[in-house]
Chains A and B, each alone.
Chain A
């Protein structure tokens, strides 16, 4: 059944560009592409449904769709795996949704210069299954590793669980091809060479076209880093009697200088309490376990074994107790796939209810972690006292620097939300809580997002405060590259660029 609001000439032109099999106007195709796992006002679902969904197979098709959108002044929203925890892939003004999932081919594996070139719809797990035969891998490892796609990782400039060793998406993506908001196809890299990692030629535009949440274009091809497949993995989980000891131990482990250290993760008391409800690894832990620190190493066997000995010594000397191989190895393996976790939460009385997972993230310096943690939990406590459909699932702090896992941390507070019970009042309270969380981050010298992006309702209001004059530059760039504001309009407060032009 066709229920789209688009006119027949638009649909006819889209069919001409893509073929009838790649243009979808039915309710199922459109409603299923309205949301992502980030909290979603389900009571206002129809506000976010695209008018039409297209699945292109080439950059040229994407470019033609974008040119058509400019001709008819229609919004274009790019969508890859739709696993993002901000609203990049959520349409705010309906329009044409460009789903890149059919662009999922490996175009070239270059074992001499250590790159792989892919289309944006490929998933990292699937890519690495193909790369294994060559003894190499692409080490981008988000919590959505089995289901997120390369195009979305570029649009988000996402964080990787093992970024302390291998870098994050911005470090691992060498260059890419992007369709600009006006329909031109552009090659973007660190300089001009498609496989060059470091250049000093001209402006550095690669970062500009990463993390824009689909507001500056649609990636259609990417050249990625290849690293040797690790011979050995070592993970160690330590328990602590209190948060402060665990926090200090986190710093000692992160500052160890071990080149194979891929990441350190701090679990606070709320997180351990939450895991004790349902997680088989934490239910049997004795009550004196109040905080946990996880660590992992990857590399050659000759590197990892001695590094593991040193890591164990540091963990034990800084107050930790080794939790054993079963939890260390089992829980670490599960960290590559957090989207598979069944989700339910608790009401104040303990009754189990279905809940969606929301993760509010920030980049925060190590010295600020304890204070930020207290203030964030207080915000969520006030929220859940007023609206029991919210449930505090605790906090993690992950090492956040590429190749240098110390100094600043991806800090997240996980909140369960009983989405079916959302209404305008509770949604407004949630959005205000997100504003409050972002305000704490900025006040403590942090950044509103280390990983997801900051364009969701609530925290986006604080983006101009965090960025200052940088936000004015963002608006000028947006207006210059997207003069008709067709590319994912409404995101990141960038409509302001056009309002100022009018006034």
Chain B
């Protein structure tokens, strides 16, 4: 085919010229798409909530529950609420650790300083719970349908729990209501000044009361969820701590009547199905945080930290006070055992020795190298003891003796109902509190509310970490944590 070449070139030149002008003004698509997300965007979340239903709220609520369980990943001692509880127990008179490793800084009171990771973790952990709860509370109006309001009440509970820990960790439990404590967050991402102890306490009580009333008719689908009995348990703890005995008695009664008491004490406290459990979290192979887990640190016969040689032991003086007929004696090794001994019936031999007084209370059952055990946050037996103490404090000694008897006869068939009265009865109740709730995260908080200091030079014979044989009076500065550096630095309301 013939054509005029020069014309072709000529035409094509102009064609290209026009073509290039067109290209010059062509545009790119700059908008983001839900198919192209690194994280779930707010606009995506809004699109979902606009579509109706409670899927978004369920997910937000589930995130708080799993965060309470898993915490952070910054170290092997940040596994959520149980990590805080284990750490706080290691600050008490009743639990020791044999070597200085993870959690050693709790035992020797080193991590109270403002630059320590543990301290930063505790602060961040609870404030993230608070902020996530505020995120839910602030988006649900009071006239929302009942199934939506349930999420709001649950969040009030999470928030109250978090503040309750914070106010007792960063300020003395017996501090005056007028003393400065910690900031109260409103969920608006603006740093706040410190509120007083009284203001924080009021917020906790208001939150728990609102939640209790709101959830009274709510029935939960599993023990992983919050319901009125969980709120009652925290109300009982709250009133016991701040010495409102009648209210403590009232709510302890509600909490203690959840489930029943198990006569088997050697199941390892690793299952939510245990009838004593009020509230907890399920841990599965998929959600196990491996070495950064409660059972890695406390279960002697699992191949974690405790089994290696960071043994968690009971204060031998406390051990010696457990009656010989009490089943709870089996929670602790009664002598040093060589490797390979089967210490807990139905389990396995461990490669290491087990020194006398080592804890055998908590065992994750799947096997030596796994740390898959459910986390128990609340057990009903605590509230038998709470109710008994509240009754005794009100002078209702007979009722108190009966409640204590109801618990102890399950643990010790030979237990004889106490005939003690007054302070002696209270002391007996408190002793059983130390025994029954050993390792459950309440020991150091009990010391604080009862005005008891630390004394590791009490002649104990169990293994104590070098450098942790401390004596600290109850209202010493070391008994509370300093507000972490990161908060002080970023919060313009704080003086340096």
The reply to whether chain A is a binding partner of chain B is: no
Chain B residues within CB distance 8 Å of chain A: none
